[in-house]
Amino acid sequence: MFLPLSLGRVPIGLPVVQAALSGYSDLPMRTIARAHGAPYALAEVVLDALVLQRGKLQRRILSVPEHDHPVGGQLMGSQPHTFGAAARELVRAGYDVVDINFGCPVNKVLGRRRGGWLLQDPTTALAIVDSVLQAVAGDAPVTVKMRRGYDDSPTAEADFFAILEGAFLRGVTAVTVHPRNVVQKYVGRSRWEFLARVRRQFQERTILGSGDLFSPFDVVDMLQQTGVAGVTMARGCIGNPFAFTQVQQLLAGRPALVPTLRQQRDALLEHWRLAVAFYGGEAAALSSVRMHAIKYAQYHPSPVQARERMVAVRSPVQLVATVEELFDPALDQDVAKVLRREDAVVPAMSAGDSCG
Ligand SMILES: Cc1cc2nc3c(=O)[nH]c(=O)nc-3n(C[C@H](O)[C@H](O)[C@H](O)COP(=O)(O)O)c2cc1C
């Protein structure tokens, strides 16, 4: 029913991928997402200038292990030449795709003329696209992430289309559109009609959709209602890597299954193990994994109590004990539970902590 997705010469397959998620989509999250069916995952957005420095953080960003493919590296910045140079570093490090962030609505980012701010400045935005394409020199597909405009003015709409069309004409492989505007941040819904319009206007191009994909049903609906080639799942897969398997189940005409407590426990404990290795110790991994665990709690059969327990975690020992107690397989039912549309969780997320 849906064609397998590809990003230029990078085959992806399942048309639902894991979005770039600042503060979340580190190597451990991407590894867990892949283990549950995500065919492609984007790393957290990173500042171009940061990639060009030398240090521990850069070494971490620029080390792409063999099992983390295909992976997209996403850049943010305001100067075409540093953007291009950083893109080249990402490709050299082994990223399969370079993604350009023209969507971040965080005030600090806008104040520095980065992210979503660039949607108001097609000249600089397209100079960045040129610089990245030139630096990458065909060694990896270049993609762009955009909101539907800076605000809802006619000028903002014209700027959006100037950047979109200009990017494709210059050789960008795919564009992900999150059809909220920058000013609205996360208030109000994602306008899927706009996505359908973009898709109609750019039939020959690869358009991916984003926004309000909280359950596997939403993913199938977006694919059907807008005709996009694929979607990037964001809030809906934090604490819920099972979403990818559930989409596979629905696309195969089967019911989507609710993960068992055992599956949730195993995923979280594996995430913990990966994070301890990635961050270099239990103390260093704790805050990141605790954040993910709080998100997993939203999908627990008693989400309010589970969240309270996770929020109270203060030490590695307490984290593991709490996960084992809350997600105790002995409490699993014998029969697999089918996910119903009305039971899908709408994840809580404040507007302040997001970057696209
Ligand atoms: C915590 C968080 C971090 C995000 N970080 C990024 C990012 O680094 N790069 C990006 O392009 N979008 C980022 N986004 C935006 C998402 O990729 C997505 O476009 C947006 O959340 C809309 O999808 P949703 O409504 O299904 O969550 C982030 C969103 C959230 C909630």
Backbone angles phi, psi at 200, to 5 degrees: -65, -40
Tens-digit pLDDT profile for residues 224-243:
999 999 999 999 999 999 99
Q: What is the pLDDT of residue 355?
A: 82
Q: Does 20 contact ligand 1 (Cβ within 6 A)?
A: yes
d(CA 8, CA 215): 27
Q: What is the pLDDT of residue 347?
A: 85
Q: Above 90 in pLDDT, residue 353?
A: no
Q: Is residue 310 very low, low, confident or very high in pLDDT (cuts 50, 70, 90)?
A: very high
| In a shared domain, residues 67 and 203 | yes
Q: Is residue 119 part of a domain?
A: yes
Structural domain including 320 reads: 261-328
Q: What is the pLDDT of residue 218?
A: 98
Share of the chain above pLDDT 90, in %: 93
| In a shared domain, residues 244 and 95 | yes
Q: Which residues contact 239 (CB under 8 A, 6 or more apart)?
A: 292, 293, 294, 295, 296, 297, 298, 299, 347
Q: Is residue 300 part of a domain?
A: yes
Tens-digit pLDDT profile for residues 75-133:
999 999 999 999 999 999 999 999 999 999 999 999 999 999 999 999 999 999 999 99
83, 132 in Cβ contact below 8 A? yes
| In a shared domain, residues 55 and 136 | yes
Q: Is residue 350 part of a domain?
A: no
What type of residue is 181?
N
Q: Does 103 contact ligand 1 (Cβ within 6 A)?
A: yes
| In a shared domain, residues 172 and 271 | no
pLDDT, averaged across the chain: 96
Q: Is residue 17 part of a domain?
A: yes
DSSP per-residue codes, 31-50 = HHHHHTT-S-EEPPPEEHHH
Least confident of 35-44, 295-304, 347-356: 347-356
Structure tokens, 177: 């559109």
d(CA 162, CA 121): 10
Q: Is residue 341 part of a domain?
A: no
User: How many domains is the chain built from?
Assistant: 2
Atom from ligand 1 closest to the CA of residue 180: 22
Query: Is the whole-model pTM more than 0.85?
Result: yes
Q: Does 281 contact ligand 1 (Cβ within 6 A)?
A: no
| In a shared domain, residues 244 and 277 | no
Q: Whose CA is nearest to atom 30 of ligand 1?
A: 354
Helical packing angle, 80-93 and 122-136, nearest 10°: 30
Q: Whose CA is nearest to atom 4 of ligand 1?
A: 21
What type of residue is 307?
R
Q: What is the pLDDT of residue 334?
A: 87
| In a shared domain, residues 222 and 111 | yes
Q: Does 352 contact ligand 1 (Cβ within 6 A)?
A: no
Which residue would you say has higher pLDDT here, 353 or 252? 252
Q: Does 178 contact ligand 1 (Cβ within 6 A)?
A: yes
Boundary residue ending a domain (229, 256, 283): 256
Boundary residue ending a domain (205, 226, 256): 256
| In a shared domain, residues 206 and 301 | no
| In a shared domain, residues 196 and 278 | no
Q: What is the pLDDT of residue 352?
A: 54
Q: Whose CA is nearest to atom 11 of ligand 1?
A: 356
Tens-digit pLDDT profile for residues 177-229:
999 999 999 999 999 999 999 999 999 999 999 999 999 999 999 999 999 99
| In a shared domain, residues 163 and 242 | yes
Q: Is residue 55 part of a domain?
A: yes
Beta bridge partners of 178: 147
Q: Above 90 in pLDDT, residue 356?
A: no
Q: Above 80 in pLDDT, residue 54?
A: yes
Q: Whose CA is nearest to atom 2 of ligand 1?
A: 354
d(CA 10, CA 333): 41
Q: Above 80 in pLDDT, residue 160?
A: yes
| In a shared domain, residues 120 and 71 | yes
Assign 145 to helix, strand or coil: strand
Tens-digit pLDDT profile for residues 162-173:
999 999 999 999
Query: Do β-strands 206-209 and 174-178 pair in parallel, antiparallel, or remain unpaired?
Result: parallel
For 258, which DSSP code?
P
Q: Is residue 350 very low, low, confident or very high in pLDDT (cuts 50, 70, 90)?
A: low
| In a shared domain, residues 277 and 202 | no
Q: Is residue 103 part of a domain?
A: yes
Q: Does 25 contact ligand 1 (Cβ within 6 A)?
A: no
Tens-digit pLDDT profile for residues 18-41:
999 999 999 999 999 999 999 999
Residue to mutate (ligand 1; options 180, 292, 355; most atoms within 8 A of CB): 355
